[in-house]
Amino acid sequence: MSYCAYIDWLQEPDDETLEKMVAYANAAVLLDRGDASAEALLGMALTCQQKYDEAGSHLQRALSLNPGETKALAYYSEWLVRTGDAEEALRNMDEALLRDPIPPPWHWEIRGMAFLVLERYAEAIQAFARQTKQFWYIAAYLAICFARLGRMNEATAELNKALQVVPDHETLRIQVVNEFVSQGTRDKLSYGLSLAGLD
């Protein structure tokens, strides 16, 4: 139920859906404190709420319970990207790929986020292209990548896709930029969105 709420929130972000994700994951953890998947999902939910200290403790607990849990490793990698260590996130994603050579499509989304933060825009585009479900925020990330590479027609097209889901320009900017802790990263992404044509 928590994972279903997560997918709903990714498609149409709102606080109520995210609260459901947290509540269901909390319930799962209370039912079994030894379940690495529940701990990982709670960590991801708290990451989405930008409660990074609490999220990190649950993600680390998930990995201590089951070091081979690739989903926990991937969620922890996203936490690392958001909190400022994209290089370590990539190393973790490489390790996850060794454990699971045919990963779920969202593996590439997290890898793309790391490349984006590291300003490796061509590699980010390649990674995002392997994510089968192109959520609105991936379109926003792609708009930044294409704009930074001077591919303005593609940047505009991707930005328009993101605006179809989050039509308010300032809200879109906040939701894309503020999930990252580093002010330097926020500034780079905000500039990229402006370069792509966001007012």
pLDDT for residue 68 is more than 90: no
Domain count, the chain: 1
Q: What's the one-letter identity of residue 93?
A: M
Residue 77 domain-assigned (yes or no) = no
Task: Decide if 174 is inside a domain.
Answer: yes
- The answer to whether the beta carbons of residues 178 and 50 sit under 8 Å apart is yes
Mean pLDDT, the chain, integer:
96
- CB atoms under 10 Å from CB of 74, counted, come to 25
Of the pLDDT bands very low, low, confident and very high (cuts 50, 70, 90), residue 76 is very high
**Domain assignment present for 92:** no
- 157 pLDDT more than 90: yes
- pLDDT computed for residue 13 by the predictor: 87
Distance CA 33, CA 185 (A): 35
Q: Is residue 165 part of a domain?
A: yes
Q: Is residue 35 part of a domain?
A: no
Asked if residue 127 is part of any domain, the answer here is no
Domain-embedded: residue 151: yes
The CA angle 96-102-106, to the nearest 5 degrees, is: 70
Is 177 domain-assigned?
yes
Q: 163 is in which domain, residue-wise?
A: 134-199
Going from the C-alpha of 176 to that of each of 35, 78, 82, 180, the distances in angstroms are: 31, 14, 11, 8
